[in-house]
Structure 1
Amino acid sequence: TGGAFAERGTLLSTLKVSVGEPGFWYSLLFTAVILIFGIRRIARRKTPYVKLQTWTLFAIQALPLFLLPYLLLPWLGSNGAFDGGWGEWVADQLFPIVDSGHGREYWRAFGLILAWPLFFWNVFSDQPLTGWLVISFLQTFLLIPWLVRRWGKGAYCGWICSCGALAETLGDAHREKMPHGPVFNRLNMIGQVFLAIAFLILSVRVISWLLPQTTIGEMSASLYRSMLDGVPRK
């Protein structure tokens, strides 16, 4: 077993590096919570719909939001999948090279499921990442609106989003505790405030990219950094 952990290109050696990243443990804990409370939800609500929805939420959390960024992509990278050809081109667009960890920012794969501004680091980056800008635009302004129009807002929030997964599993037994009434319904609109803030940050980030050597560009960059200072990236 020690040799497998030390030998480059094995799943165990990949895991050895991943466990050194805080995000690995956060995602593992999140996935475990979805599984444990999801099983409890299925046992409590014995319907085919709940069973299918819960296992779908768990599968999305476990595969693209945990195994993909922390095991599968790094393992492929350590075996040369991103060292040349189209694999290297795709990786360069989505997972920039770094001098730590697995050598690339594979944690950005969260953005394949979590659209901007839910997961904003692929858009709020030091330098514009064209691949993620395109993906984020398609997700936020085309794909999700189409899903909502076709099946309602629960199509994304209740079947794909990890926040929805937590609400449907951990929060399932506490639905009756949610306060109701006109005041609390208005408080629910606070999400629109955070959305406005996200658009403000996006605006100053874009200005700083487009006008890097100007006064307004430098002011925008400074404002952007002050807004996100201290927010963890992974």
Structure 2
Amino acid sequence: MNKTIALPYPEQAADSSLGKTAGLTLIGFGLLGLLVAAFGSGVIDPVLTGLGGITALTIGGLIYIWQRRTELSEAHQNNGAWTESATSRGAIAWVVGIVLTGFYILLYWFPDSLQGLTRAMEPLSQWLRNRPADQWFLYGTFYTLAVLVMGVHALLKYRNNRYHIIRTLSVMFFQLGFAFLLPALLLYLNQPEFYFSYFWPLKYDYLFPGTVSYLVQNGQALGVFMIFWGAVLSFLATPVLTYFYGKRWYCSWVCGCGGLAETAGDPYRHLSDKRRVAWRWEVAIIYPILGFIIITTLLLWINSWSEGRLLGELSGGFSSTYGFFIGAIFSGVIGVGFYPIMGNRVWCRFGCPMAAYLGLLQKHFSRFRITTNGGQCISCGNCSTYCEMGIDVRGYAQQGQPIIRASCVGCGICAHVCPRGVLKLENGPREGRYAASPLIKREDLNLLS
């Protein structure tokens, strides 16, 4: 006996399927082009296959994302987060994690293996920077495209929320403008490469004496401005902005690491470890890393002042150690490569010295908090599930307590997924900042009186 399945909107489903098929087809051709550029550069021009592959991959990704996100209503955007293999630590997630981790290993320690892809970037590098392409330009291009393409994904996913639309556009703007185009323009004008959206302690070497002298000698007046910019942003603007807005002004609106986490990493935000033991590891790791970079910076300046007589090679060893273990392994290999397994904020949560610095300011000297209306909480757990920093938001909401945590990046997703409007991001006065909202207890009610 033949069985038929009736679809409620067959034409719409057919159009959606056709669009997805077209997008996936272009993605397949794009990946093929990148593979040929990487391994077949001796036979076929890598510029043609590489740039063609990137173009096909980008267009196909945008088509697929558009079809996938627009066919779901605003209320159903997180459907399948715990059931699809790609977002629930399934086989696809492990494959993606291995590919990302392997790419970072090749990028840092075996860059010659990426020569085909690097050569594919040559026309773009010459046009933007007037410089030959290298593995870091290749990485910057991939990184920026990931933020832009997956930024469209975030815009469609959170299209009913003005805050998230503006926040996503902000990280896309800063990554494209301040972290990709502006540094390239500086090189094109024979000026030192400088990233104005990064500063100490995240860009830890920007206040090192060697970097300062290099900028002054090669950038002259512009180099002095770069040093001034980095110092002012690190020690003056950061405390002031954090006082008024919390660490979200940087971690969720400006930072390139946070930008990648909020766009390319958004499908994995629910994978963050919510256990208390994870919070203990967080505290035990991130603050010593901040202390290490502070000590390293001080030692380098002391050694520079003494012309190397006091510490010799010790301060340089500190710098090299930090660059290898934290700058490369932690922020790159683990921080991004482990997105599909450990969530999208592994680096921000456990390793970023800037997050530690901002977190201390936010917890003790800021006006920012997330207030809760505990009387409206139905304990659904959406807020805790989608907190990328592993905070048990529901526990605070159930007790009506404000969320004032050093780790909170103010992304606002917890408030977005709450079905009852229990959570609210506020920059109110510090007076009463820690006060809980009043809860009506059962013993307070006397219906017979």
Go from structure 1 to structure 2 and tell me whether the alpha carbon gap of 1:187 and 1:157 turns closer, same or farther (over 3 Å shift). Answer: same
TM-score norm. by structure 1 comes to: 0.72
Q: Name 1:3's counterpart in structure 2.
A: none
Q: Are 1:45 and 2:163 an aligned pair?
A: no
Q: Name 1:175's counterpart in structure 2.
A: 269
Query: 149-158 or 179-188: which moved more?
Result: 179-188
Deviations 1:183-228 (A, max 9, x none): 11122222212111101211210111110152x1425445346535
Q: What is the distance in 2 between the residues matched to 1:22 and 1:174? A: 27
Q: Of residues 140, 146, 168 in structure 2, which corresponds to 1:27?
A: 140
The alignment yields a C-alpha RMSD, in angstroms, of 2.6
Q: Are 1:61 and 2:175 an aligned pair?
A: yes
Q: Of residues 298, 306, 315 in structure 2, which corresponds to 1:211?
A: 306
Q: Are 1:162 and 2:246 an aligned pair?
A: no
Q: What is the distance in 2 between the residues matched to 1:14 and 1:125? A: 32
Q: Are 1:113 and 2:197 an aligned pair?
A: yes
How many angstroms does 1:65 deviate by?
0.6
TM-score norm. by structure 2 comes to: 0.39
How many angstroms does 1:171 deviate by?
1.9
Q: Is the 2:212–2:227 Cα contact (8 Å) retained in structure 1? A: yes
Query: 222-231 or 131-140: which moved more?
Result: 222-231
Task: Look up the equivalent residue of 2:291 and give its one-letter code.
Answer: A
Task: Look up the equivalent residue of 2:243 and give its one-letter code.
Answer: R
Q: Name 2:45's counterpart in structure 1.
A: none
Q: Secondary structure at the match of 1:49?
A: helix
How many angstroms does 1:39 deviate by?
0.8
How many angstroms does 1:140 deviate by?
1.7
Q: What is the distance in 2 between the residues matched to 1:210 and 1:125? A: 9
Q: Is the 2:252–2:262 Cα contact (8 Å) retained in structure 1? A: yes
Q: How many residues align?
A: 191
Go from structure 1 to structure 2 and tell me whether the alpha carbon gap of 1:127 and 1:182 turns closer, same or farther (over 3 Å shift). Answer: closer
Q: Are 1:196 and 2:288 an aligned pair?
A: no
Q: What is the distance in 2 between the residues matched to 1:27 and 1:139? A: 23
Q: Name 2:84's counterpart in structure 1.
A: none
Task: Look up the equivalent residue of 2:207 and give its one-letter code.
Answer: V
Structure 2 unaligned runs (5+)?
A: 1-123, 217-223, 329-449
Work out which structure has the larger RCO, using CA pairs closer than 8 Å and 6 or more positions apart in sequence.
Answer: 1
Q: What is the distance in 2 between the residues matched to 1:194 and 1:213? A: 25
Query: 123-132 or 61-70: which moved more?
Result: 123-132
Go from structure 1 to structure 2 and tell me whether the alpha carbon gap of 1:19 and 1:49 turns closer, same or farther (over 3 Å shift). Answer: farther
Q: What is the distance in 2 between the residues matched to 1:148 and 1:212? A: 37
Q: What is the distance in 2 between the residues matched to 1:124 and 1:213? A: 14
How many angstroms does 1:19 deviate by?
4.7
Q: What is the distance in 2 between the residues matched to 1:153 and 1:192? A: 16
Task: Look up the equivalent residue of 1:42 and give its one-letter code.
Answer: L
Go from structure 1 to structure 2 and tell me whether the alpha carbon gap of 1:66 and 1:229 turns closer, same or farther (over 3 Å shift). Answer: closer
Q: What is the distance in 2 between the residues matched to 1:147 and 1:228? A: 28
Go from structure 1 to structure 2 and tell me whether the alpha carbon gap of 1:229 and 1:202 turns closer, same or farther (over 3 Å shift). Answer: same
Q: Is the 2:296–2:318 Cα contact (8 Å) retained in structure 1? A: yes
Q: What is the distance in 2 between the residues matched to 1:16 and 1:126? A: 24
How many angstroms does 1:44 deviate by?
1.3
Task: Look up the equivalent residue of 1:122 and give its one-letter code.
Answer: Y
Query: 203-212 or 124-133: which moved more?
Result: 124-133
Q: Is the 1:14–1:74 Cα contact (8 Å) retained in structure 2? A: no
Query: 119-128 or 172-181: which moved more?
Result: 119-128
Q: What is the distance in 2 between the residues matched to 1:74 and 1:219? A: 31
Structure 1 unaligned runs (5+)?
A: 1-10, 78-102
Q: What is the distance in 2 between the residues matched to 1:32 and 1:213? A: 43
Q: Is the 2:209–2:304 Cα contact (8 Å) retained in structure 1? A: no
